[in-house]
Structure 1
Amino acid sequence: MHSSGIAEKAVEVLRERERQRFAERNPRSLALAERARHSLFGGVPMHWMSDWSTPVPLFVQRAQGARFFDVDGHEYVDFCLGDTGSMFGHSPAPIASALREQAGNGLTTMLPGEDAVVCGELLAERFGLPYWQVATTATDANRFVLRWARAITGRKVILVFDGCYHGTVDEAMVRVREGHTVHRPGLIGQARNLTQHSRAVPFNDLAALEAALAPGDVAAVLCEPAMTNIGMVLPEPGFLAAVRELTRRVGSLLIIDETHTISTGPGGCTRAWNLEPDFVTLGKPVAGGVPCSVYGCSAEMAQAMQLARQHASEMNHGHGHSGMGTTLSANALAMHCMRANLEQVMTAAAYEHMLAQAARLAAGLRTLIGKHRLPWSVTELGARCEFQFCATPPKNGAEAEAAFHDSLQMALHLFLINRGILITPFHNMTLCCPDTRAADVDRLLACLDEALAELLAIPGAREA
Structure 2
Amino acid sequence: MPAETIAGVRQNRLQAFAAREAAAYARARPKAAAALAKGAGNFLSGVPMHWMADWPMPHLPLVAKAHGSRIEDIDGNRLDDFCLGDTGSMFGHSPAPVAKAIRHQARRGLTYMLPTEAALDAGQLLTDRFGRFRWQIATTATDANRFALRVARAVTGRPKVLVFNGCYHGTVDETMVTLQNGRTVNRPGLLGQFADLTGSAACVEFNDLAAVEAALATGEIAAILTEPVMTNSCMVLPEAGFHDGLRQLSRRHGALLIIDETHTISSGLGGYTSVHSLSPDMFVVGKCVAGGMPTAVWGMTDEIAQRYEEVNAGRPSGHSGMGTTLSANPMQFACLVATLSEVMTEDAYAHMEKGAERLSHGLAKAIKAHGAPWHVVRVGARVEFICAPGPLRNGTEAGFAHQPQLEAALHTGLINRGSLIAPFHNMMLVSPATKKAQIDRLIAGFDSLLTDLFAKA
Residue 37 (structure 2) aligned to one of 15, 28, 34: 34
Give secondary structure in 2 for the equivalent of 1:241: helix
Q: Does 1:297 align with 2:295?
A: no
Residue 206 (structure 1) aligned to one of 201, 204, 209: 209
What pairs up with 1:130-169 in 2 under 5 angstroms? 130-169=133-172
2:136 touches 2:297 (CA, 8 Å); kept in 1?
A: yes
Q: Does 1:20 align with 2:23?
A: yes
Give the distance between the partners of 1:35 and 1:86, measured in 2 at CA.
Answer: 29
Shift of 1:429: 1.0
Give the structure 1 partner of residue 340 of structure 2. Answer: 342
Residue 69 (structure 2) aligned to one of 62, 66, 77: 66
Give the structure 1 partner of residue 410 of structure 2. Answer: 412
Give the distance between the partners of 2:294 and 2:456, measured in 1 at CA.
Answer: 45
Shift of 1:297: 1.0
Give the distance between the partners of 2:456 and 2:45, measured in 1 at CA.
Answer: 34
2:6 touches 2:406 (CA, 8 Å); kept in 1?
A: no
CA-to-partner distance for each residue in 1:356-393, whole Å, 9 max, x for gaps?
A: 00001111111001100111111110001111112222
CA-to-partner distance for each residue in 1:5-54, whole Å, 9 max, x for gaps?
A: 11222211111001111111100111122123420111110011011111
Give the structure 1 partner of residue 370 of structure 2. Answer: 372
Give secondary structure in 1 for the equivalent of 2:42: coil
Give the structure 2 partner of residue 86 of structure 1. Answer: 89
Residue 291 (structure 2) aligned to one of 288, 291, 296: 288
Give the distance between the partners of 1:298 and 1:348, measured in 2 at CA.
Answer: 25
Shift of 1:407: 0.7
Give secondary structure in 1 for the equivalent of 2:273: helix
2:110 touches 2:329 (CA, 8 Å); kept in 1?
A: yes
1:3 touches 1:403 (CA, 8 Å); kept in 2?
A: no
Give the distance between the partners of 2:11 and 2:174, measured in 1 at CA.
Answer: 36
Give the structure 1 partner of residue 314 of structure 2. Answer: 311
Q: Does 1:388 align with 2:386?
A: yes
Moved more, 449-458 or 38-47: 449-458
1:3 touches 1:390 (CA, 8 Å); kept in 2?
A: no
Give the structure 2 partner of residue 180 of structure 1. Answer: 183
Give the structure 2 partner of residue 276 of structure 1. Answer: 279
Shift of 1:185: 2.0
Give the distance between the partners of 1:88 and 1:233, measured in 2 at CA.
Answer: 23
2:233 touches 2:402 (CA, 8 Å); kept in 1?
A: no
Moved more, 29-38 or 320-329: 29-38
Give the distance between the partners of 1:423 and 1:446, measured in 2 at CA.
Answer: 14
Q: Does 1:250 align with 2:250?
A: no
Give the distance between the partners of 2:439 and 2:26, measured in 1 at CA.
Answer: 26
Give secondary structure in 1 for the equivalent of 2:391: coil
Give the distance between the partners of 1:58 and 1:203, measured in 2 at CA.
Answer: 37
Give the structure 2 partner of residue 451 of structure 1. Answer: 449
Shift of 1:3: 6.5
Q: Does 1:217 align with 2:217?
A: no
Question: What amino acid sits opposite 2:425 in the alignment?
Answer: H
Shift of 1:282: 0.6
Give the structure 2 partner of residue 462 of structure 1. Answer: none
Moved more, 32-41 or 18-27: 32-41
Query: Can you give the 5+ residue segments of structure 2 that lack an aligned partner in the other structure?
Result: none
Give the distance between the partners of 1:230 and 1:371, measured in 2 at CA.
Answer: 25
Question: What amino acid sits opposite 2:30 in the alignment?
Answer: P
Query: Can you give the 5+ residue segments of structure 1 that lack an aligned partner in the other structure?
Result: 460-464
Shift of 1:96: 0.7
2:71 touches 2:79 (CA, 8 Å); kept in 1?
A: yes
CA RMSD of aligned residues (A): 1.1
Give the structure 2 partner of residue 330 of structure 1. Answer: 328
Give the distance between the partners of 1:59 and 1:458, measured in 2 at CA.
Answer: 38
Which runs of at least 4 in structure 1 moved beyond 6 Å after TM superposition?
A: none
Q: Does 1:435 align with 2:433?
A: yes
Residue 232 (structure 2) aligned to one of 229, 232, 236: 229
Moved more, 82-91 or 395-404: 395-404
Give the distance between the partners of 2:14 and 2:351, measured in 1 at CA.
Answer: 35
Give the distance between the partners of 2:35 and 2:160, measured in 1 at CA.
Answer: 46
Cα distance change on mapping 1:97 and 1:417 into 2, 3 Å: same
Moved more, 447-456 or 150-159: 447-456
1:366 touches 1:378 (CA, 8 Å); kept in 2?
A: yes
What pairs up with 1:74-113 in 2 under 5 angstroms? 74-113=77-116
The count of corresponding residues between Structure 1 and Structure 2 is: 454
Give the distance between the partners of 2:40 and 2:410, measured in 1 at CA.
Answer: 27
Shift of 1:266: 2.0
Give the distance between the partners of 2:414 and 2:99, measured in 1 at CA.
Answer: 29
Give secondary structure in 2 for the equivalent of 1:395: coil
Could you tell me the TM-score, scaled by structure 2's length? 0.98
Give secondary structure in 2 for the equivalent of 1:38: helix
Give the distance between the partners of 1:246 and 1:434, measured in 2 at CA.
Answer: 38
Give the distance between the partners of 1:440 and 1:195, measured in 2 at CA.
Answer: 46
